[in-house]
C-alpha cells in the first residue's frame, strides 16, 4: 500500500492528551528539514493524521482511521497514565505491529512511566525504550513540555524522513545556533539605529560569548552522538558493524577537526581517543585485526598523554585502553601479547587512587580467560582474584562481569576434563545471564547466555548427560537463529560454529553419525567463511578442527576414503597457520596428526610420538592423552594404555562412551590389538 500519511497520531481523548497531541501535530507538520539534508534528497514530513473525535463504542476501527493507519509510515503513541485505559489506542498499536512496522513506533511520554503509561501492546515491542520521546515535566505544564519537543521529536522525524538521527541532530543544532546569531544581529541593527550603541555593543559581546558556549555545547553534543550514541545503538542490529566502522572511519578526521575548535583541548583529545577506541572495537568484530590494533594503539598513546596530568578519569581510561588492546589481540589469537597488555592494564589500574573496581576486575577476568586459552595454570589464581573483586557489589555491571568470569572458569575446567566442576560454574554463569536479561535484553547479553549454554551442553555431553545436553542445544539453536544471517560479525559467526560443532559431537558420541555429519559440515562452512575473511591463525585453527571432526565422524560411519581426505585437508590448514599458533592450538594440531597417523596411515610409532608431543605442550589436554592411550595400545604398551585410558574414562560417562565407540570403529576398519578387548572390559567395569 502506498503511504498516504507520513505519521499517524494515536492518543486518548483526554484534555491533556488532546492538547499536547494538537500542538505536537502542528509542530511535526510545520517542521522543515535543514537545507543540507534536503540537498541530499530527504523530504519534509508531508502529511500527518489524527482523529479528532473519540471512537464510537464498537469492535472495529472506522474505515477512515483504518485506512490512515494502514497507509502511515510511522506511529506516534501519546502516552499518559490514562492511555492504558483506551482499548482503541492499544488496538491501533497492535494493528501497526501486525503490519510489520513495529520499528517505526515512537512513544511520546507526557506523564507516568513505561509501566503505568504504555498500552499492553506497546510493552511487547522490542527495544521500544530506545525510541521513547520524553517530554515529561513536573506539574504537566504544557508550555514547559513543548520546550522539549524540538529535541525529543527529532527521533520520530529522522525515522519518518529516513535520514540519520545523528545527521539531523547535528544540522538542527547548527541551524538553531545560526538563527540565534541572526536574531542578535537584527536586534543590534535596530538598536544601533536608535543611538544606543554602547549598550548594544555590551549586549552583543555577551551574545557572542553565549554563542561561543552554544557552539561548544553543540560541538560536544555532536561528538557524543558520533562517538557514543550512534555506534552504541547500531551495535544491537545484526549486520550493522561494517556500517559502524565506516561511520567512525569517515568521521575520525572530521571529529579531529571539530575537536580542535573546542575551547577545552584536553577534553577534545579525550573524545578523539574514545572515537579511535570505538573504531578499533568495530574493526575487531569484523575480523580486521591489523586496522583494529592500529586504532587501539593510537588510543592508548592518547590516553597515556592525558594520564600524565594525574586526573583520575584519564588514568582509568589509560588502564582500560590496555585491557581493550588485550581483547583485540586475544580475538586475533595473539594470546602471549594479550597477556602482557592485560597485565599492563592491571598494573596501571591498581595504582590509581580509589580505582574503579569493575575495570580492575574485568582486566583480571580477561587475563584469566586468556590464560585458559594458553593452557596456563595461573588461570585459577586469576579467577579467584577476579571473583573476590566482583563479590563486593550487587550492581548489574558487576553481575555481568561475574557471569563472564564464571563462564571462562567453566571453559578452563571443561578443557581439562573436570566436567562436574565445569558444569557448576557454567550453570552459575547461565543463571546470571538469565537474571540480567530480565532487565536488559541487549543482544550482547543474549549472545553471552547463548555461548554459555553451548559450552554447558558440550560439557554435559562429555559427562554422558545426553538428554540434558540436547535440551540446551535445542534452546541455544533457536536463540542463534537471529544471528545466522549476519555474515560480517566474526564473534557471532564463531559462536554459531561452536554451537554446531558441539552439537555434532553430542550426536557423534551417541552413534548418530548421519545427524552429526550435518552439524559438523555446517560448522565447517561457517568456520571457512571466518577464516577466509580474517586470515588469522585462530580462525584457521577453528576451521581445521571442524574439518577434522567431520573426518573423525566419517571414520566411525565407515567412510574411510572421505576420512582420509578430510584429515589431510584439515591438517593442511593447521600447517598453514602453525607458526602463529599458541600452545593450546599447537597441542590440538599434534593430537589430531597423531590420530591421522593411527587410523589412516597405521603408523603407530609416529602416532605415539605426535601424541606425546601434544601432551608435552599441554599435559591436561584430554584429546592428546586419549590419542596417546590409543597409540600405546597398538604399540603394545599395554600398562601405559590401561593407565591413560582408564583415567580418561573415569572423567565421565561421555568420555567412556567415546573410547568405546573409537575402539569399535578402529576394529571395524581392520585395526587389531590383542589387548583391545581387555581395555573394553576395563571401561565397562568403571
415-431 tens-digit pLDDT: 777 888 889 989 999 88
Instruction: Please tell me which residue, 683 or 93, carries the higher pLDDT value.
Output: 93
Whether residue 221 sits in one domain with residue 97:
no
What is the Rg, in whole angstroms, of the alpha carbon atoms belonging to the chain? 31
Q: Which residue has the cell 563479590?
A: 391
Whether residue 180 sits in one domain with residue 112:
no
Last residue of a domain, one of 218, 234, 250: 234
Is 185 a domain residue?
A: yes
Q: Are 641 and 634 in contact (CB under 8 A)?
A: no
Last residue of a domain, one of 99, 128, 161: 161
Nearest C-alpha neighbor of 304 from the set 344, 250, 359, 259:
344
**Length in residues, the chain:** 686
Is 42 a domain residue?
A: yes
Whether residue 9 sits in one domain with residue 157:
yes
Q: Which residue has the cell 539605529?
A: 193
Rounded to an integer, the average pLDDT of 37-60 is 68
Whether residue 110 sits in one domain with residue 51:
yes
Q: So what's the pLDDT on residue 202?
A: 43
Whether residue 195 sits in one domain with residue 97:
no
pLDDT at 136 over 90: yes
| φ, ψ dihedrals at 76, nearest 5° | -100, 120
Q: So what's the pLDDT on residue 261?
A: 55
Nearest C-alpha neighbor of 536 from the set 287, 279, 282:
287
Is 492 a domain residue?
A: no
The rounded distance, in Å, linking the Cα atoms of 584 and 365 is 19
The boundaries of the domain holding residue 222 are 164-234
Instruction: Please tell me which residue, 61 or 458, carries the higher pLDDT value.
Output: 458
Last residue of a domain, one of 191, 207, 234: 234
Is 572 a domain residue?
A: no
The rounded distance, in Å, linking the Cα atoms of 256 and 213 is 19
Q: So what's the pLDDT on residue 96?
A: 92
Is 126 a domain residue?
A: yes
The rounded distance, in Å, linking the Cα atoms of 622 and 376 is 15
Whether residue 134 sits in one domain with residue 50:
yes
Whether residue 84 sits in one domain with residue 33:
yes
Q: What is the pLDDT of residues 283-325, one digit of tens each?
A: 786 778 888 899 999 999 999 999 999 999 899 999 999 999 9
Sign of CA dihedral 61, 66, 70, 71: negative
Whether residue 155 sits in one domain with residue 13:
yes
Q: What is the CATH classification number for the domain harbouring 134?
A: 3.40.50.10140
Whether residue 220 sits in one domain with residue 94:
no
The pTM of the full predicted model, rounded to 2 decimals, is 0.49
The rounded distance, in Å, linking the Cα atoms of 628 and 609 is 8
Q: Which residue has the cell 555506534?
A: 231
Q: What does pLDDT average to over the chain? A: 82
Instruction: Tell which phi-psi region holds residue 140, choosing left (phi > 0), alpha (psi between -120 and 50) or beta.
Output: left
C-alpha cell at 505: 559431537
Is 65 a domain residue?
A: yes
Q: So what's the pLDDT on residue 480?
A: 73
pLDDT at 232 over 50: no
pLDDT at 618 over 70: yes
Nearest C-alpha neighbor of 461 from the set 655, 649, 684:
655
Sign of CA dihedral 660, 662, 665, 670: negative
Q: What is the pLDDT of residues 166-185, one digit of tens each?
A: 888 878 776 765 554 444 43
The rounded distance, in Å, linking the Cα atoms of 436 and 541 is 33
Q: So what's the pLDDT on residue 341?
A: 95
Q: Which residue has the cell 557489589?
A: 393
Whether residue 109 sits in one domain with residue 67:
yes
- If 0-12 CB within 10 Å is exposed, 13-18 middle and 19+ buried, where does residue 572 land? exposed
Whether residue 177 sits in one domain with residue 146:
no
Is 109 a domain residue?
A: yes
Whether residue 79 sits in one domain with residue 216:
no
Q: Are 269 and 259 in contact (CB under 8 A)?
A: yes
Give the count of domains, the chain. 2
Q: So what's the pLDDT on residue 3?
A: 53
Is 310 a domain residue?
A: no
Q: How far is CA 296 from CA 15, 140, 281, 323, in A?
A: 55, 47, 8, 10
Q: So what's the pLDDT on residue 228?
A: 43
Amino acid at each position: 500500500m502506498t503511504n498516504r500519511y507520513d505519521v499517524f497520531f494515536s492518543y486518548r481523548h483526554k484534555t491533556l492528551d488532546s492538547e499536547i497531541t494538537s500542538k505536537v501535530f502542528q509542530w511535526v507538520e510545520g517542521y522543515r528539514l535543514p537545507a543540507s539534508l534536503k540537498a541530499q534528497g530527504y523530504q519534509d514530513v508531508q502529511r500527518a493524521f489524527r482523529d479528532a473525535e473519540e471512537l464510537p463504542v464498537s469492535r472495529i476501527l472506522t474505515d477512515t482511521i483504518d485506512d490512515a493507519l494502514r497507509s502511515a509510515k510511522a506511529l506516534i503513541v501519546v502516552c499518559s497514565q490514562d492511555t492504558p485505559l483506551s482499548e482503541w489506542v492499544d488496538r491501533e498499536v497492535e494493528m501497526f505491529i501486525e503490519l510489520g512496522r513495529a520499528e517505526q513506533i515512537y512513544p511520546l511520554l507526557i506523564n507516568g512511566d513505561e509501566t503505568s503509561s504504555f498500552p499492553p501492546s506497546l510493552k511487547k515491542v522490542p527495544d521500544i525504550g530506545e525510541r521513547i520521546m520524553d517530554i515529561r515535566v513536573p506539574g504537566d505544564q504544557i508550555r514547559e513540555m513543548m520546550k522539549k519537543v524540538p529535541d525529543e521529536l527529532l527521533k520520530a522525524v529522522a525515522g519518518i524522513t529516513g535520514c540519520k538521527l545523528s545527521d539531523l541532530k547535528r544540522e538542527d543544532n547548527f541551524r538553531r545556533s545560526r538563527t540565534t546569531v541572526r536574531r542578535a544581529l537584527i536586534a543590534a541593527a535596530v538598536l544601533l539605529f536608535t543611538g544606543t550603541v554602547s549598550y548594544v555593543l555590551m549586549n552583543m559581546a555577551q551574545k557572542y560569548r553565549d554563542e561561543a558556549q552554544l557552539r561548544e555545547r553543540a560541538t560536544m553534543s555532536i561528538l557524543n552522538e558520533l562517538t557514543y550514541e550512534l555506534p552504541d545503538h547500531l551495535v544491537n542490529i545484526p549486520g550493522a558493524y561494517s556500517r559502524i566502522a565506516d561511520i567512525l572511519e569517515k568521521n575520525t578526521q572530521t571529529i579531529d577537526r571539530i575537536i580542535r575548535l573546542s575551547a577545552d583541548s584536553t577534553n577534545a583529545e579525550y573524545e578523539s581517543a574514545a572515537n579511535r577506541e570505538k573504531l578499533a572495537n568495530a574493526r575487531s568484530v569484523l575480523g580486521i585485526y591489523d586496522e583494529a590494533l592500529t586504532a587501539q594503539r593510537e588510543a592508548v598513546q592518547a590516553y597515556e598523554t592525558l594520564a600524565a596530568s594525574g586526573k583520575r578519569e584519564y588514568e582509568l581510561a589509560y588502564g582500560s585502553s590496555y585491557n581493550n588492546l588485550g581483547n583485540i589481540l586475544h580475538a586475533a589469537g595473539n594470546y602471549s601479547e594479550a597477556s602482557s597488555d592485560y597485565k599492563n592494564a592491571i598494573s596501571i589500574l591498581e595504582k590509581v587512587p580509589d580505582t574503579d573496581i569493575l575495570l580492575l576486575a574485568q582486566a583480571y577476568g580477561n587475563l584469566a580467560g586468556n590464560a585458559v586459552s594458553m593452557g596456563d595454570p595461573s588461570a585459577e589464581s586469576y579467577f579467584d582474584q577476579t571473583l573476590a573483586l566482583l563479590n563486593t557489589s550487587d550492581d548489574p555491571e558487576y553481575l555481568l562481569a561475574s557471569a563472564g568470569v564464571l563462564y571462562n572458569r567453566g571453559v578452563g575446567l571443561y578443557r581439562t576434563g573436570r566436567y562436574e566442576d565445569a558444569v557448576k560454574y557454567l550453570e552459575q554463569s547461565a543463571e546470571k545471564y538469565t537474571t540480567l536479561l530480565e532487565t536488559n535484553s541487549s543482544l550482547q547479553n543474549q549472545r553471552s547466555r547463548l555461548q554459555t549454554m553451548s559450552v554447558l551442553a558440550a560439557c554435559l555431553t562429555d559427562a554422558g548427560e545426553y538428554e540434558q545436553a540436547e535440551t540446551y542445544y535445542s534452546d541455544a539453536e533457536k536463540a542463534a537463529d537471529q544471528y545466522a544471517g549476519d555474515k560480517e560479525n566474526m564473534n557471532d559467526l564463531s559462536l554459531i560454529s561452536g554451537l554446531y560443532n558441539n552439537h555434532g559431537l553430542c550426536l557423534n558420541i551417541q552413534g548418530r553419525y548421519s545427524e552429526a555429519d550435518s552439524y559438523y559440515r555446517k560448522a565447517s562452512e561457517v568456520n571457512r567463511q571466518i577464516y577466509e575473511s580474517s586470515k588469522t591463525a585462530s580462525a584457521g585453527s577453528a576451521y581445521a578442527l571442524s574439518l577434522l571432526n567431520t573426518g573423525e565422524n566419517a571414520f566411525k560411519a565407515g567412510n574411510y576414503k572421505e576420512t582420509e581426505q578430510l584429515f589431510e585437508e584439515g591438517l593442511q590448514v593447521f600447517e598453514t597457520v602453525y607458526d602463529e599458533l599458541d600452545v593450546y592450538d599447537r597441542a590440538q594440531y599434534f593430537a589430531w596428526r597423531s590420530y591421522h597417523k593411527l587410523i589412516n596411515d597405521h603408523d603407530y610409532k609416529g602416532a605415539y610420538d605426535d601424541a606425546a608431543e601434544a601432551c608435552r605442550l599441554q599435559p591436561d589436554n584430554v584429546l592428546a592423552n586419549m590419542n596417546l592411550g590409543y597409540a600405546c595400545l597398538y604399540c603394545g604398551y599395554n600398562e601405559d594404555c590401561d593407565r591413560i585410558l582408564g583415567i580418561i574414562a573415569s572423567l565421565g560417562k561421555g568420555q567412556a562412551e567415546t573410547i568405546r565407540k573409537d575402539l569399535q570403529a578402529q576394529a571395524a576398519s581392520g585395526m587389531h590389538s590383542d589387548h583391545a578387548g581387555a581395555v573394553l572390559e576395563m571401561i565397562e567395569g568403571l
